[in-house]
Amino acid sequence: MKRIRALAALVVLTLCMGTAYGQQDFYWGNEVPDGWTGDWPDELLTVAERSDFTRTMQIEDVHEFLDLIKWRSENVHVFDLFTTGTGRVSSAIVLANPRVTSPEEARESGKPVIYVQGKIHPPEPEGAEASMMVMRDILFGDRGYLLDNQIVIITPIFNVDGTASLHTRDRGPYVGGQRHNVDGFDLNRDAVKLETIEMNGLLEELLNEWDPVLMYDSHRMGTGNFAYSIAYTNATVPAAHPGPRTYVRNSLFPAVRDLVRENFKQEPFTHALWTGEEWPPTDWSHDATIWSTEAKFLANAYSLRNRMSILCETPGAASWERQVYSQYAFITSLLEYTNTHGEEMLEINRAADDETVQKVLDGAESGELRNWLEGEYQSRGKIEIRAYRDGFPEVPTDFLPGTSVESHVRPTGEPEIVGNVDDMTLPVGTRDTWMPRGYIIPAELEFLVEKIRTHNIEVTQLEEPMTAEGSEFVVDRMLKVSEGGYNMTKLEGGFFENSVREFPAGTYFIDMAQPLANAAFYFLEPQAKDGFVGWSVLDETLRELGVDERPIVYPVFKYRRTVEGN
């Protein structure tokens, strides 16, 4: 018995030592493993690798790399998303085995499509560099198996003009691009209003045609007061179907986090920050990272299609090599997961499509079907977070001697574990209204219909007159308000219920019994904070109708049912 007890004690001690060693084995602060990028011939090295992580690639570097790999691999297809007004082209790379050259071939394969995007904000280039490394691993390294059960599409540089607008900076690559495109638009605020060539091209050429089961958008935070290697979030728009976004949050993220920890010795966690400067932190909030419940962000807007989406940001205080390694670790682990769970993910999305249509058929005509116009974050409960007591400064304070270049001094070693922190990341709807059986749009608003169709929402035209009962929104006032740094539109007024109107042939009609019903609702509702009205898409139309002088009727009619005999 003594020997058994001694052996048991030794096993417990060994397990405890192994756990401690495993934690010590993690890479914290700016740490990365030696030789983590692998051994590659010079022509397959990225700009970051060639420059010892002091430079990032330009679009010309991407095109040269693509020209090279097209002749070296049978599993590559390249197509153009758009050409900007300056003549620059953003390309998407399709990785598939066997090779796939069209959306039709992708659908016939039965494999899910996973979309990875870099440089929607060029000063945040680490995801772009990491995606190129992952592409190289798949095509020429030991990760070719990641094409066994999925098709991967990568756009390394989405904002090509912003990337070419070079600026010097003290953090990350010394020379990099600007956040906005050449016309001054933030592309990650254009997912609803579609004002840019770039966003229209992405939807028309890729998202609509290839229908990715999941989209991954890479970013960098301006700062970060936590110890995590990368911060991840799913879509949080309450109006979106809960199935795909709940799956990402509750199933995908925990599994991918485990893969990153096991294979790359890093600790990723939720995209949030604690608020205030007190120690220890008491809350962990999405609001502190400007990740709102609105659809203006590309990853959030994509969820309105009943699809999965992820946004990941590396902490801004980390060294750039550390940021690239963190994106590389997460993207690789994500593709490991999707390669083995892609069929399950497809089923989740298809079920959301079917349920969306069925709910419209079951509850729209009676007025029982409702959806959310706005939301907020509430508590999921108490959690533990890993953080450094000193946090990360907003403004760099440590520089290389005699220069203005930040030395990337950052807390190192294992961080503190802080418990009893309120996890303020649960999206909850706060204001709703009823969803119609359809929307009816005047023929003269063709510009609006084109935008709706670009969002992949099906719109038809009435072949003969139709009398319909529904609701009209009477606009009392149109206000301009500042929201999140943007000049938004807000309508004051109310619905006139049980209105009956006749609509002539040629009028546009949106039948809400379609998978994108939630998107149509979100974009067209007059009181949606972040829809077409909010983003001023209809300002000119409303002024032409006289909104500045008197109450008017919002031109989009909420259709409930046809009147008997029509």
Write the CATH number for 342: 3.40.630.10
Q: What is the pLDDT of residue 406?
A: 53
Q: What is the pLDDT of residue 391?
A: 62
| Type of residue numbered 319 | S
Residue 31 lies in a domain: no
Q: What is the dihedral of CA 476, 480, 486, 488, to 10 degrees?
A: 20
Both tokens of 427, joined, read 């999206």
Place of tokens 């690239």: 324
**10 Å Cβ neighbour count for 501?**
15
Q: Do 215 and 348 belong together in one domain?
A: yes
Q: Do 198 and 70 belong together in one domain?
A: yes
Q: Do 290 and 409 belong together in one domain?
A: yes
Residues in the chain: 566
Transcribe 40-79 into DSSP letters.
--GGG--HHHHTTSS----HHHHHHHHHHHHTT-SSEEEE
CA 287 to chain centre: 16
3-state helix, strand, coil in the chain (%, to 5): 35, 25, 40
Instruction: Please say whether the beta carbons of 177 and 164 come within 8 A.
Output: yes
In terms of residue numbers, what domain contains 159?
50-360+372-428
How far apart CA 510 and CA 20 sit, in angstroms, is 59
Single residue among 392, 407, 428 that ends a domain in this structure: 428
**Greatest Cα-to-Cα distance within the chain, rounded to the nearest angstrom:** 94
Q: Do 441 and 421 belong together in one domain?
A: no
- Provide the β-strand partners of residue 416: 387
Transcribe 322-349 into DSSP letters.
HHHHHHHHHHHHHHHHHHHHHHHHHHHH
- Quick check: helix, strand or coil at residue 495? strand
- The pTM of the full predicted model, rounded to 2 decimals, is 0.93
Q: Do 414 and 446 belong together in one domain?
A: no
Buried b / exposed e across 437-464, counting CB within 10 Å, b at 16+?
bbbbbbeebeebbebbeebbbebeebee
Q: What is the pLDDT of residue 173?
A: 86
Q: Do 395 and 459 belong together in one domain?
A: no
Q: Do 424 and 440 belong together in one domain?
A: no
Q: Do 377 and 285 belong together in one domain?
A: yes
Q: Do 313 and 462 belong together in one domain?
A: no
Residue 70 lies in a domain: yes
Residue 3 lies in a domain: no
DSSP state of 248: I
Residue 16 lies in a domain: no
Residue 324 lies in a domain: yes
Q: What is the pLDDT of residue 565?
A: 57
**10 Å Cβ neighbour count for 382?**
11
Q: What is the pLDDT of residue 405?
A: 53
Q: Do 126 and 151 belong together in one domain?
A: yes
Q: What is the pLDDT of residue 174?
A: 77
Instruction: Please say whether the beta carbons of 512 and 520 come within 8 A.
Output: yes
Q: What is the pLDDT of residue 347?
A: 98
CA 482 to chain centre: 24
Task: Using alpha carbons, select from 503, 402, 497 the residue that is nearest to residue 461.
Answer: 503
Residue 26 lies in a domain: no
Residue 367 lies in a domain: no
Q: Do 296 and 254 belong together in one domain?
A: yes
Task: Using alpha carbons, select from 534, 120, 163, 36 the residue that is nearest to residue 298.
Answer: 120
Q: What is the pLDDT of residue 316?
A: 85
Q: Do 102 and 164 belong together in one domain?
A: yes
How far apart CA 472 and CA 456 sit, in angstroms, is 25
How far apart CA 261 and CA 255 sit, in angstroms, is 10
Single residue among 428, 448, 464 that ends a domain in this structure: 428
- The number of domains in the chain is 2
How far apart CA 42 and CA 189 sit, in angstroms, is 38
Q: Is 402 left (phi over 0), alpha (psi -120 to 50) or beta?
A: left
**Per-residue confidence in pLDDT tens, the chain, 566 aa:** 444 444 444 333 333 333 333 445 899 989 999 999 999 999 999 999 999 999 999 999 999 999 999 999 999 999 999 999 999 999 999 999 999 999 999 999 999 999 999 999 999 999 999 999 999 999 999 999 999 999 999 999 999 999 999 887 766 787 889 999 999 999 999 999 999 999 999 999 999 999 999 999 999 987 667 889 999 999 999 999 999 999 999 999 999 999 999 999 999 999 999 877 788 999 999 999 989 999 999 999 999 999 999 999 999 888 999 999 999 999 999 999 999 999 999 999 999 999 999 999 999 999 999 999 999 999 999 999 998 887 654 444 455 555 555 555 566 788 899 999 999 999 999 999 999 999 999 999 999 999 999 999 999 999 999 999 999 999 999 999 998 788 999 999 999 999 999 999 999 999 999 999 999 999 999 999 999 999 999 999 999 999 999 999 999 999 999 886 54
Residue 325 lies in a domain: yes
